[in-house]
Amino acid sequence: MKNLINILLLLPTLTTSLVCYCNDSPKFCPDNKCVTNGVCRASIQRSRQNENEIIERYQCVHKRSLFPVKRPFECENSKKLTNTYIRECCKQSDLCNHNHNLSFDLPDYDEYTETPVLVEDDKRTIYLVVSVLGSSVVILATGCMIYMVRKSKVRVCPIFPCWKSYVEVDTRSCDTISTTLQDWMSMSGSGSGLPLLLQRTVARQIELKECIGRGRFGEVQRGEWRGSNVAVKIFSSLDEKSWVREVEVYQTSMLRHDNILGFIAADNKDNGTWTQLWLVTQYMEGGSLYGVLQQHTFDQYQVMLMCLNIATGLSHLHLEILGTQGKPAIAHRDLKSKNILVRKDGVCAIGDLGLAVRHNSGSNNLDLPINHKVGTKRYLAPEVLDGSIVESDFESFKQGDIYALGLVFWEIASRAVVQCSPYHPPYWEVVGADPSIEHMRKLVCEDHLRPSMPHNSLIEKVTSECWYPDPSARLTALRVKKTLTNLISDFESSHETDFRFKQSNSFQLKETNLSQD
């Protein structure tokens, strides 16, 4: 009887699963098969090194990646890339993508499309009907407008949509039409980004201006949309999984926060040679914290403010919000100065959520990224370096973020004017530019080495409590935030005159590159 109940419970899952042929890594394709609730996909692509070499890929595409539903981006082909990259999706049966019939030698569609030749009289009749109908519509619309204006005796704008062109699905009155990015970002009630159609509209209206950063994923360019600057993170089509993952995390409900990089849109674009995958975010004039620390020094008050910004953003990431439109707890897993962006007024925001892990306490489900990357070696916590981290426990990932947060605090404190030294990333004097995992494991886990805090630093105590060897002994992000808030409050009380001066002379950062790694 118990076995029968288990079979009945598993039956919906079995009936909605699709087995696909797969040639990705053995971890995701045991026995060259994968299971999905979406579709199977086959694709062919010409090698960039050798045009005669054809790369065949077979994959599972999960249901959450199929948007929009009727014509998902993941299954569409570009007319400009029919000789470079072709893909096809199916779901009619298991392994339906194995015996595909994709080829770069398909004839052009226009050759087989015959347009019926209309007789001249038929054309005249059609023109006459269209003209009559069009005139009737114009007359009726004008009459309705005159009637409603006279009846309401108010200006036209509150009743009718403005004559200004508008690209969103729903019409809006004159008083509520948004014309700036800040308006559009703030009108998202769920805090998870704009509607998908509006995202595509914005992305296709952006004009790229210049490259402002490069990293392992591709590059970041500054773009302009209606006079506003945006940052466009461009992935190659070969890094599609990373793009999909980062978009998923950014679209988490209730994620929007002043200290988390603002997500605007995601879209795929053809540049004539290959498909680009765009991730559009707000533009941070100061660039990355890594670049800012190399060019600027700060006083103790500014150091504490920047640290509070970062701790506040991390606290919001780690926080789980319960409710109908709740937010799962999120651990960043790659927190470092290069992944923190700075506005021109010095406000910091956490970005690059591609390695983030989400956790829902109700179902105790961990949503881990598909790739095997574990963050930047220099910022890895001791338990990650020695392999003792419990990956089934979400708290372990949060504690790893706190360790990295302590290193970021040290980087900022090392540029304080009181005792300023040339900027170097953590452990630079010991491991140099490119440390190995083994070297970092010996220093952090066996030798228990930590960077030495500058003398008389006001954040020394809270920083040292972030990088304890025992993960459970480290502070939480919320505790760090509250401690820094109290430190700033005490500082303002004891330096009241200086503080009033700072309020009227807030520091400004010169515009620099958004360098990310």
Q: Within a 13 Å sphere around the CA of 54, how many CA atoms are in the beta-carbon half?
A: 13
Of residues 266 and 3, more confidence is placed in: 266
Same domain for 295 and 239, yes or no, is no
Same domain for 291 and 414, yes or no, is yes
The whole-number pLDDT of residue 397 equals 95
> Which range in 108-112, 307-311, 450-454 is most confidently predicted, on average pLDDT?
307-311
Cα–Cα distance, 230 to 208 (Å, whole number): 9
The answer to whether 258 and 315 are in contact (CB under 8 A) is no
Domain boundary among 267, 282, 297: 282
Q: What is the DSSP letter of 107?
A: P
Asked whether residue 173 carries a pLDDT value surpassing 90, the answer given is no
The whole-number pLDDT of residue 441 equals 93
Asked whether residue 184 carries a pLDDT value surpassing 70, the answer given is no
**pLDDT band for position 289 (50/70/90)?**
very high
Three-class DSSP category at 64: helix
Cα–Cα distance, 11 to 5 (Å, whole number): 10
Identity of the amino acid at 396: S
The whole-number pLDDT of residue 516 equals 45
Three-class DSSP category at 163: coil
**pLDDT band for position 169 (50/70/90)?**
very low
Please provide the average confidence, as pLDDT, over all residues in the chain: 81
Count other C-beta atoms under 10 Å from residue 36's C-beta: 20
Is 148 inside a domain boundary? no
Same domain for 439 and 472, yes or no, is yes
The whole-number pLDDT of residue 432 equals 85
Same domain for 208 and 264, yes or no, is yes
Per-residue pLDDT reduced to its tens digit, 359-371 = 988 888 898 887 7
> Which range in 15-24, 153-162, 216-225, 399-408 is most confidently predicted, on average pLDDT?
399-408
Same domain for 457 and 483, yes or no, is yes
Of residues 44 and 154, more confidence is placed in: 44
The answer to whether 410 and 460 are in contact (CB under 8 A) is no
Per-residue pLDDT reduced to its tens digit, 243-264 = 999 999 998 988 999 999 999 8
Beta bridge partners of 105: none
Is 365 inside a domain boundary? yes
Q: Which residues have CB under 8 Å from 436's CB, separation 6+?
A: 377
The whole-number pLDDT of residue 361 equals 84
Is 201 inside a domain boundary? yes
CATH of the domain at 91: 2.10.60.10
Q: List the one residue out of 309, 279, 270, 505 whose CA is nearest residue 405.
A: 309
Of residues 114 and 25, more confidence is placed in: 25
Same domain for 468 and 416, yes or no, is yes
Asked whether residue 418 carries a pLDDT value surpassing 70, the answer given is no
Cα–Cα distance, 40 to 58 (Å, whole number): 8
Q: Which domain holds residue 264?
A: 181-282
Per-residue pLDDT reduced to its tens digit, 329-341 = 999 999 999 999 9
Cα–Cα distance, 394 to 361 (Å, whole number): 10
Cα–Cα distance, 412 to 415 (Å, whole number): 6
The answer to whether 474 and 467 are in contact (CB under 8 A) is yes
Lowest mean pLDDT among 35-44, 141-150, 157-166, 428-437: 157-166
Domain boundary among 282, 299, 328: 282
CATH of the domain at 277: 3.30.200.20
The whole-number pLDDT of residue 507 equals 56
Is 244 inside a domain boundary? yes
The whole-number pLDDT of residue 510 equals 53
Active site residue 258: no
The rounded percent of the chain whose pLDDT value lies above 90 is: 43
Whether a cis peptide bond, with omega within 30° of 0, leads into 68 is yes
* Distance separating the N- and C-terminal Cα atoms of the chain: 56
> Which range in 124-128, 130-134, 359-363, 479-483 is most confidently predicted, on average pLDDT?
479-483
Asked whether residue 157 carries a pLDDT value surpassing 80, the answer given is no
Is 167 inside a domain boundary? no
Task: Give Dmax over CA atoms of the chain in angstroms.
Answer: 93
The answer to whether 222 and 282 are in contact (CB under 8 A) is no
Q: How many domains does the chain have?
A: 3
Distances from the Cα of 21 to the Cα of 100, 192, 319, angstroms: 11, 34, 39
Is 170 inside a domain boundary? no
The whole-number pLDDT of residue 374 equals 79
Same domain for 95 and 203, yes or no, is no
The whole-number pLDDT of residue 399 equals 96
Is 215 inside a domain boundary? yes
- Please name the residue that has the structure tokens 């007359």: 139
Cα–Cα distance, 366 to 50 (Å, whole number): 41
Q: List the one residue out of 54, 33, 29 whose CA is nearest residue 44.
A: 54
- Please name the residue that has the structure tokens 């651990």: 331
Same domain for 435 and 293, yes or no, is yes
Domain boundary among 235, 251, 282: 282
Per-residue pLDDT reduced to its tens digit, 446-475 = 999 999 988 888 999 999 999 999 999 999
Q: Which residues have CB under 8 Å from 96's CB, separation 6+?
A: 20, 40, 90
Per-residue pLDDT reduced to its tens digit, 339-353 = 999 999 999 999 999
Over residues 319-328, the mean pLDDT reads 87
Same domain for 101 and 200, yes or no, is no
Q: Which residues have CB under 8 Å from 335's CB, separation 6+?
A: 314, 350, 379, 401, 404, 405, 408
Same domain for 186 and 276, yes or no, is yes
Q: Which residues have CB under 8 Å from 412's CB, separation 6+?
A: 289, 293, 298, 303, 306, 307
The whole-number pLDDT of residue 71 equals 84
Same domain for 397 and 431, yes or no, is yes
Asked whether residue 276 carries a pLDDT value surpassing 80, the answer given is yes
Per-residue pLDDT reduced to its tens digit, 46-82 = 888 888 888 899 999 998 888 887 888 889 888 778 7
The whole-number pLDDT of residue 515 equals 47
Is 515 inside a domain boundary? no
Same domain for 265 and 295, yes or no, is no
Asked whether residue 509 carries a pLDDT value surpassing 80, the answer given is no
SS3 content of the chain, % helix, strand, coil (to 5): 40, 20, 45
Chain centroid offset of residue 196 CA: 14
Cα–Cα distance, 171 to 181 (Å, whole number): 18
Distances from the Cα of 222 to the Cα of 36, 233, 261, 275, angstroms: 37, 9, 15, 19
**pLDDT band for position 183 (50/70/90)?**
low
Out of 334, 434, 447, 470, the active site residue is: 334
The rounded percent of the chain whose pLDDT value lies above 70 is: 79
- Please tell me the pTM assigned to this model: 0.63
Three-class DSSP category at 203: helix
The whole-number pLDDT of residue 192 equals 63
